[in-house]
Structure 1
Amino acid sequence: MASVLVTGSAGGLGLNAAAQLARDGHDVVVHARRADRLPAPPEGHSWAGAVVGDLSSLDEVREVAAAAEEHGRFDAVIHNAGLLDVAGMIEVNIVAPFALTALMTRPSRIIALSSGMHRGGSTDLTRMARGNASYSDTKLWVTALIMAFAERWPDTLSHAVDPGWVPTRMGGAGAPDDLEAGHLTQTWLATADDIEPRTGGYWHHRVTQRPHAAALDPGFQRALVAALEERTGLTLPA
């Protein structure tokens, strides 16, 4: 049985992943931006806990991290929370996963949602400071961040997941991909033993793919981590 934190689990893929993990007998801590958005657990099950905070605010990210730490060290953290082309997107999509990782006791596994759209992202990190990054940029950056984690901490299983274009509130009702398949890779990576590669994978429906070349570039990874450290005032453990 694993203990798992799922950010952005008020609905969509995050809720589906959290509910599946709870049904499978794992201890799940859910997260929502506001208390009134916290989801009910699946019938016959319960959450191990819940944390509340707006991940577009670094102060509230600190509060989320502190509340999550009260549950002890997690076996896995799934960075599911994400925004598409709205205010706060940069903070939620890339700054929050970095800050939570810097602030919390490092889990055994770190999983972040990327997107196939990351392949159209830019390596121009000044877009982060200027606030004009695209959704594709943020997903390239979070993919590179996960690869940086894999390089920095070989004993931590760090993976990025493309869930596909699925019919959630973000994806829209007409999205053509499989909603159920969209969350099963995350739950598998959070709990399975038979994962190959063990770390540093970019996954789509439990099959690895090659991400944008910049995500695998150690120089870009270092520049990204430095930009995030400067922006947040936080430093990743060595």
Structure 2
Amino acid sequence: MYVLKKIGLIALGAILLLLTACTEIPKPTPELEPTPVLEPEPTPELEPQDGQSEEEDQPGEGVPPTALEAATTVLRALKNGDMKTVAAWASRKGVRFSPYAYVDTKTDLVFSRDELEGLMGDPTERIWRTYPGSGDLIELTFKEYYNQFIYDADFMSDAEVSVNEMLGESTTINNLNEVYPKESHNFVEYYIDGFDPVYEGMDWRSLCLVFEKIGDDSALVGIIHNQWTP
């Protein structure tokens, strides 16, 4: 009888061990930390490219360009000595250069598109007219003429601008509207009202760019310089 009880206890112990093994409490799964949400980095602002000028940022011309838009492009080219761009705007008849307000259709020099492109580097001295008062010949290379009778002041930055209205008045007869009738031409004048108070405004300067109307388009036909004359 004792033996049977012992066997029974052993069997019971084995059963309890088996149940314990089968019902082992699983270890708790460690909690995962939430994945942080990365904020997108701001896109850096692009710096202007080296050599990029303020003029390149200016709005372009309309299609077709207005007289003022055309004149602005030509004046910018003149300021930079860019005769290739000036030539691109030139009329097929060429461009006439007048050192003073009176346009002399007989003696003022006219240059074709092809001639205009190479003028800045042309060493040829030409007679452009005579100086008022002294009567001496204005005998200059184109670059010298440019410095005295085209861009002799910063018209791009300092000038008052008018379209089809003359601002500068001198003792020289102004026949612009006779040579370039308003029905078929537009002009834009850039006028600077003197530099030195000592001269009481007598050192004023102006530059007129004259365009022929070709349908809705424009072609440069005249560059007229003006200033006080004795």
TM range (shorter): under 0.3
Q: Which has the higher helix share?
A: 1
Give me the TM-score of the superposition, normalised by structure 1: 0.24
Q: Name the larger-Rg structure.
A: 2
Give me the TM-score of the superposition, normalised by structure 2: 0.24
